[in-house]
A and B are shown apart, each in its own frame.
Chain A
């Protein structure tokens, strides 16, 4: 027997054994735009992955690659996961949209789920959370807590999801405090502690005593803590390490139920391509505990707002609302439709500044 045939035999045996292995377990892959230790966005997706492992035990095997740049690298990582036998792959950043679409076309038997995008295929679903519901509660608290009447907002990228958050927070801050003013700084990053800290410091120097962030690290929290007398909200993750001050509450992305349900669907063979956009009601968005730094009445009204949104009784975008240029967007009592929200590219009336073009 030659060396070559020994090797061939070994490879064959290995192939068979992995084949048998693949039948028993469902392999679920994740790719993250940041490191799993970012304490925010990627961290929460990874928590969802861990919940999956805990829920299914040996029936599910998960794999992940972190800090994957959006573009050609994502396409390669996805292809690699599909080749290695993944049955279901979650791609957890907007910029993975085209790479996911391309790889999904090449692997019709593998199911893909893309977070926050809008391109779908027979084996490619999209899912996102209605973070703007959480932003409404945040704005409600921020408007009442600010003494300088200046709320600083660290925007990541001027995309509809982020603009929705700014509008929602502003509308609800304005409702409780007509003098409130928002200052927005665009960081052009999802995760860059140095840039985020710098943005927070700039906003604080401009008089902001509330910092809202749409970036994923805890650097703005640390900057606020260092400055003193500034409050913040945890973003994507609870960031409870900074409670009770500066962090007074948070918006938590809770992906676990969705990930478990979709994996179950793959196991059962009932998976179909869908578009999911869930909010506080179904539990995809959670409001982190409102700390004691917030007065009891503010806390109570914030929780009432949260519950009203959860039950569907109240929609954060309810008219009368005008666009920034003064034109009418929603008439009295009218609520925004999902299509407009999905592509939102305008500020509401009262916000100053322009969305970068």
Chain B
């Protein structure tokens, strides 16, 4: 008989080992899935996880990993603060959209002027837009005790409608022959978020993601705010006795995650995506939730998890194109990753014992 016994403290060894275990289990079950689809499982797993890094065209894929991973890491870092403190911002996708709209609007307002000040202004507008959008669920929770999970999630759909309206109306390219979508910011030098070194994939968003990782690491491990965040998550009552203002903490955590999501949106719209279009958002805000948990809400973990997620996207595309794997199989693989992570998480909090029940 197998029984689960709750650990008094989460096991530090298992909390490091479970993400790795989850990846291995995903590879095994993914391999079985691919085998039933009639593909060589080893070749497929190799294509997804190794080809982007080591194949003939890795010189192209490696920089793409940075481009794909940066928004995930940036958003996930922001979310990790709130998630640690028990504040659940599920609407990063909406904050990402609003950040992109605000940042792009500032850039487009100056078109076609040339100035080195335009891009920094756009960055500020992007962060501010995301922050303000996140303040809505934040303030509603603090003032009226609403559930921030629901409000932030619903605001994603509002943001999507706003995006459509902007792409068709206020921000539409006047030279676009009636088609929706803004001017291409990446073709407007003062507003473009281009690669800092050609072919490296490093744009300002990637830089910001790395800075955010370092900043979060220091804050969480060395600063009193990080202590308050962790304490609030583990024991809200104790946190209150320790002088933490819970309302303020909600606003700060929502603000950080909103601002970082907004920044991610701005860097994306000014760089890789180039323009505000009706379906500009592709789910980074939701995938970042997986990344945050896969990285155990730890900054370095999130960095690695963001890289891994980017790897499955890019490797997944290679597998589709080269091996004829269906797109849904890749999504299944990504879903499995979160599933196994949550499933093996039980080992962190519980000890598995073999023996008779009730013997004590």
A323 is an interface residue with CB less than 8 A from chain B: no
- Segment with Cβ contacts to B, from A62-70, A143-151, A216-224, A307-315: A62-70
A residues in contact with B86, CB < 8 Å = none
B residues in contact with A158, CB < 8 Å = 168, 180
Q: How far is the CB of B65 from chain A (nearest CB, A)?
A: 10
B60 x A159 contact (CB < 8 A): no
A residues in contact with B278, CB < 8 Å = 157, 188
- Segment with Cβ contacts to B, from A72-80, A233-241, A293-301: A72-80
A72 x B272 contact (CB < 8 A): yes
A residues in contact with B34, CB < 8 Å = none
B residues in contact with A35, CB < 8 Å = 326-328
Closest A-chain residue to B172, C-beta based? A357
Complex: how many Å from CA A11 to CA B320? 23
B190 is an interface residue with CB less than 8 A from chain A: no
B residues in contact with A66, CB < 8 Å = 320, 326-327
A residues in contact with B279, CB < 8 Å = 69-70, 95, 188-189
A271 is an interface residue with CB less than 8 A from chain B: no
A65 x B321 contact (CB < 8 A): yes
With beta carbons under 8 angstroms apart, the residue of B56, B67, B321 that contacts A63 is B321
A343 x B177 contact (CB < 8 A): yes
Q: How far is the CB of B180 from chain A (nearest CB, A)?
A: 6
A327 is an interface residue with CB less than 8 A from chain B: no
A81 is an interface residue with CB less than 8 A from chain B: yes
A72 x B168 contact (CB < 8 A): no
A71 x B282 contact (CB < 8 A): yes
Q: Known contacts being A72-B268, A159-B178, A159-B180, is A357 close to B169, with CB within 8 Å?
A: yes
A94 is an interface residue with CB less than 8 A from chain B: yes
B275 is an interface residue with CB less than 8 A from chain A: yes
A residues in contact with B61, CB < 8 Å = 80
Complex: how many Å from CA A188 to CA B280? 12
B322 x A63 contact (CB < 8 A): yes
B107 is an interface residue with CB less than 8 A from chain A: no
With beta carbons under 8 angstroms apart, the residue of A64, A188, A343, A356 that contacts B178 is A343
Q: Known contacts being A83-B57, A344-B178, is A64 close to B273, with CB within 8 Å?
A: no
Residue-wise interface mask of A (313-350) relative to B, using a CB-CB cutoff of 8 A (1 in contact, 0 not):
00000000000000000000000000000111100000
A159 x B179 contact (CB < 8 A): yes
B314 is an interface residue with CB less than 8 A from chain A: yes
With beta carbons under 8 angstroms apart, the residue of B178, B277, B324 that contacts A95 is B277
Size of interface on B: residues with Cβ below 8 Å to A: 41
B177 x A29 contact (CB < 8 A): no
Q: How far is the CB of A147 from chain B (nearest CB, A)?
A: 34
Size category of the A interface is 35 or more
Interface contacts (Cβ under 8 Å), in number, total 98
B317 x A64 contact (CB < 8 A): no
Complex: how many Å from CA A64 to CA B326? 9
Complex: how many Å from CA A15 to CA B177? 45
Complex: how many Å from CA A29 to CA B273? 22
A188 x B164 contact (CB < 8 A): yes
Q: How far is the CB of B281 from chain A (nearest CB, A)?
A: 9
B residues in contact with A63, CB < 8 Å = 321-322, 324
Residue-wise interface mask of A (90-106) relative to B, using a CB-CB cutoff of 8 A (1 in contact, 0 not):
00001100100000000
Complex: how many Å from CA A11 to CA B56? 9
B177 x A118 contact (CB < 8 A): yes
B318 is an interface residue with CB less than 8 A from chain A: yes
B322 x A84 contact (CB < 8 A): yes
B306 is an interface residue with CB less than 8 A from chain A: no
Which residues of chain A (252-290) have a CB below 8 Å from chain B? none
Closest A-chain residue to B170, C-beta based? A357
A160 is an interface residue with CB less than 8 A from chain B: yes
A65 x B327 contact (CB < 8 A): yes
Q: How far is the CB of B286 from chain A (nearest CB, A)?
A: 13
Which residues of chain B (327-359) have a CB below 8 Å from chain A? 327-328
Complex: how many Å from CA A188 to CA B279? 9
B64 is an interface residue with CB less than 8 A from chain A: yes
Which residues of chain B (147-166) have a CB below 8 Å from chain A? 160-161, 164-165
Residue-wise interface mask of B (297-326) relative to A, using a CB-CB cutoff of 8 A (1 in contact, 0 not):
000000000000000011001101110101
B320 x A342 contact (CB < 8 A): no
B285 is an interface residue with CB less than 8 A from chain A: no
Complex: how many Å from CA A71 to CA B163? 15
Q: Known contacts being A65-B321, A80-B321, is A71 close to B277, with CB within 8 Å?
A: yes
A80 x B273 contact (CB < 8 A): no
Which residues of chain B (252-278) have a CB below 8 Å from chain A? 268, 271-275, 277-278
B18 is an interface residue with CB less than 8 A from chain A: no
B26 is an interface residue with CB less than 8 A from chain A: no
Residue-wise interface mask of A (147-167) relative to B, using a CB-CB cutoff of 8 A (1 in contact, 0 not):
000000000011110000000
A69 x B282 contact (CB < 8 A): yes
Q: How far is the CB of B332 from chain A (nearest CB, A)?
A: 13
Complex: how many Å from CA A66 to CA B56? 23
Q: Known contacts being A80-B57, A343-B178, A357-B168, is A70 close to B277, with CB within 8 Å?
A: yes
Residue-wise interface mask of B (157-200) relative to A, using a CB-CB cutoff of 8 A (1 in contact, 0 not):
00011001100110010000111100010000000000000000
A residues in contact with B180, CB < 8 Å = 157-159
Q: How far is the CB of B274 from chain A (nearest CB, A)?
A: 6
Q: Known contacts being A35-B327, A188-B278, is A76 close to B178, with CB within 8 Å?
A: no
> Footprint of B on A, CB under 8 Å?
11, 15, 29, 35-36, 63-73, 75-77, 79-81, 83-84, 94-95, 98, 118, 157-160, 188-189, 342-345, 356-357
14 contacts between A and B (CB under 8 A): A11-B56, A64-B321, A65-B321, A71-B274, A71-B282, A72-B67, A72-B271, A80-B57, A80-B317, A81-B321, A83-B57, A98-B275, A188-B278, A356-B165
New A-B pairs, 5, CB < 8 Å, besides A35-B326, A66-B327, A160-B178: A64-B321, A65-B320, A67-B327, A80-B318, A159-B179
Q: Shortest 6 CB-CB distances between A and B: which pairs?
A: A72-B272, A345-B178, A69-B282, A66-B327, A71-B273, A357-B169
